[in-house]
Chain A
Amino acid sequence: MRVAGLTNGMRFALAAVVVLAAAALPGATAPASADIASDHPAAILVFPKLLVDTANGLDTLIRIGNVSDTPLNVYCFYTNVTPTCTIPGGSCFPDQLSCSAIVGGQTFIGGCLPQWQPTDFIFRLTREQPTGWLVSRGETVNCRLIDGVCANGGASCTRDTQCGAGNRCILAPCLPLEGGPLGRTGPGGQTNEGAIPLSPDDPFIGELKCIAVDETLSPIARNDLIGDVLIGKLASGPTAEIEIEGYNAIGLPAIPGKGNRDDTLVLGGPPETAEYEGCPNILILDHYFDGAVDPVLQNTCLPEGTCSISGVACASTAECRANRCIANACTVSGDACAMDADCKNTCENEVCSLSGTTCFEDADCVSSDYQVRVATDLTLLPCTQDYEGRDLDLSRTVAQFLVFNEFEQRFSTSRTVDCFKEIQLSNMETADNSRSIFSAGVAGTLTGQTRIRGVVDEDNAGRGGNTLIGLAEEFRCAGAEYEFPVCDMVDSARLVSSSAKNLHFQGRRPQSDFIYLP
């Protein structure tokens, strides 16, 4: 635009006014965006998946930290979603098959009922303080007088040096600054208070949510909490294999100056009512399609004459991939055998000899060669949760999935999330993993992108926004090609390795989600 009759100084003044006016436009001077994220401190932390099965060496370690220089009270909820077995004494962990009873020599399979049982607790973190606890043990104060136990024997102890060189004294799980006449206090006299209970069940599967609160337990807009999780497993037996996976807690930042500090936390939605940033409109998951062969973990014959993954003696890589008969057992499938031919999956009387599937000729039977294939578990949680009224209808959300393969081809499916959903991707829409749109055999490519959207339920208007948050775990399972990979941290017989990761987020939605506190 050319404006006649203006001096340079006037032009500058005009330019500055125009720029400042632009700056005054709505949104132009919006404060720094602080979306929900797992890599920024926040006022609410969500740990979507915790696992405990101490009998099988499985446990979860929570790490949480206060990143500010003032103490912070934390109000947390364990939510127990371990299904309950209808047969007394039975268990639905890891699956419904373990919910059974033998009566008169006959096995009866019971039903598994979902549960959603919150347990709350409160503790205080001092300034800049990190701490952590095992979900199976919890953490408390007033335990200074409880002796520890030497890791190598069981003798009581109070410090490592009492257990000999290289050994440790395992102390009772205790918050670090327990205060009191015998306990420790921080340099400023700060102490931890409260207690963290152990998991309400063992085995246990559930969620943890922690909220920053003040001394009166009212929610407070302090974005000072960070957290992460390690799920570890130590397998019993001579191999004593270990497995570990970790993820960051998902943080929901408070919007400064917006909280009314009541028992209803408003997540996102209209700016005039939102107290915390909203949950994402869409979750994005990059994943391997279930059943895809891992491109790196190939069972090859090493120069020293052993297979690189299975460890079987070999003379060539072909021998590492083949299901061979060694010492009367097939090297891959584990079936009894007398010769290599017994380890081939061939068609006999219209049934494949190893896989048991129907066939008309040998070509119908999938090979029994060794492969390491990938399976992904997805955990989804609704953002709206009612800890007060326990109205699960508020949380129930239909999740819509759009799946893209590397050919730009799109598939879709949907699934209802009641209050917690943990499921292998290829079981999302079918019990037959190999026929799922999430399986490599259907999708056609190694990797894909899945976009997950919670569908707005008009019945929830003003009470829930039907957004979701989640977590993905990737498992690499070894086995014969005809076996679909279904291993995980619980069912780890075929597990080669595991990893967990946070999902990506996109967009916000106009509806609010709510957390209703007791």
Chain B
Amino acid sequence: MDMQRGRIGLMAAALVGLVVGGAQAQVTTEKSASILVFPKVVSDGTRDTVIQITNTSNSMVHAHCFYVNGALTFPELPAGPINPPLWIEIDFDIWLTKQQPTHWVVSQGRLVNAADAPCSNNPANYSCNDAGIDPGRVPPVVEYFTGELKCIEVDPSGAPLSGNHLKGEATTTTFNVCNPITEECVLEPGTSCTPGGTDCDSSIQDVAKYNALGVIGNENNDGDPVLCLGGEPTEDCPNGAEYDACPQFWIANHFAQGAPEPAIDDDAEVNTTWTIVPCTQNFETQNPERVTIFIETWNEFEQAFSSFATVTCWDELALDEINEVTFDYQTLGTTFAQSRLRPSSQTRSGFMMVGSEAHVYPGNNITQTADVNYHIEGERSGPDLITIPFDQVGPQ
């Protein structure tokens, strides 16, 4: 009898799921959402990141956030079985009053201090980094952090909520210092330097910005610790998709590696980097998710090339790291290329990504960067699961 009732419930839920699923949208970079993913958050001595998050509603909003450090255990050494990503997560809560924007510098975090001086014209004070209603105690990241930030809208008890009230941006500032790993100036590639020396022109700075990727929540969110992104009802996801699915395809319009970049000068070049994080993440078991990505690249002559990339937990991949040949200007034969990326059929997780284009002027080797939000097509059929430790969901 109980089994029968369970079957009926599951079938009804499946139908409900179909109905709700029919109205699914996709991951967005322009609408308020219930989960914000900042795939590229870096604070490693050469770069720092400012996070901006805003509540777009007229009521207070709470969010549970995770920093995930995807840095290698030994950052100065190549990745490998004995040098895996750290996959160390720390979490914290923020709450925003109606329509409140907030921000913090990830290397500094944000402390709660009602006495922070506001900006003012008289007396002149325009340095007011901490002014405003503090969103909670935001911890600083560790000294070498290369990873992601994920913020999930929750109710006052801490249970996930499909409010769709959050939007965000990340601003990455790069300093032209000596990279201790490559011993090259960060913004003057090819210029060798001594760490701590005076070889790099410190007056060169670079700022780039991208919109956080938003995952829109659906009405059937049961508030449990397993967040279901897309998919049909399953044992883990009895209500089906609690959030919109991860994309099936990411479409990136980009330069071929080494192609001339005429916006600055015909001699300039562009180096494109993709930062990728899996959609499925288990913060309870801390098992790093591995995604194999199939990439089909079209040149301007309608010719297609293919390659693969594998990402565990988090990675920032230059195109020539993925494949030295496929993305090369000499191979592609055209300046512009269009790459379509999808999870391979053997991979159980989708992925999220942002791009970064470093434009290098060979006259003086100076680099300036523009971050890119890529295009999305279709949605994955299977659910991606974000699992929050159960004791972080509910009253503390």
Contacts and interface: CB of A to CB of B under 8 A. Distances in A.
Interface stretch (B196-204, B225-233, B306-314): B196-204
Interface string B247-271: 0000101000000111111111000
A395 interface: no
B361 interface: yes
B25 A35 contact: yes
A302 interface: yes
B263 A244 contact: yes
A307 interface: yes
A131 B302 CA distance: 11
Interface in A28-74: 28-35, 37-41, 57, 59-61, 63-65, 67
A366 B125 CA distance: 9
Contacts of B103: 406, 446-447
B111 to A, nearest CB: 14
B361 A240 contact: yes
A366 B121 CA distance: 9
B205 interface: yes
Nearest to B201: A311
A205 B338 CA distance: 28
A215 interface: no
B171 interface: yes
A402 B311 CA distance: 42
B19 A39 contact: no
A129 B11 CA distance: 44
Interface residues on B, range: 35 or more
A502 B121 contact: no
Contacts of B22: 28-32
Contacts of B264: 57, 232-234, 242, 244
A188 B302 contact: yes
Main secondary structure of the interface of B (DSSP, over half): mixed
Interface string A269-304: 000000000000000101001011111110000111
B98 A23 contact: no
A445 B376 contact: no
B99 A306 contact: no
B310 to A, nearest CB: 24
Contacts of A177: 300-302
Interface residues of A, number: 126
A293 B32 CA distance: 27
Contact of B263 (A22, A31, A231): A231
B184 interface: no
Nearest to B119: A440
A319 interface: no
B275 to A, nearest CB: 16
B221 interface: no
29 contacts: A16-B11, A19-B19, A29-B19, A34-B25, A37-B30, A57-B264, A67-B375, A131-B336, A228-B253, A242-B264, A244-B368, A248-B375, A284-B56, A292-B119, A297-B207, A404-B99, A406-B100, A408-B133, A439-B121, A441-B124, A444-B132, A445-B118, A447-B52, A476-B207, A502-B30, A502-B373, A503-B30, A504-B56, A506-B31
Interface of B: 1, 4-5, 8, 11-12, 15-16, 18-19, 22-32, 48, 50, 52, 54, 56, 97-103, 105, 108, 118-129, 131-133, 167-169, 171, 173, 175, 177, 196-198, 201-211, 251, 253, 260-268, 298-304, 334-338, 340, 357, 359, 361, 363-364, 366, 368-377
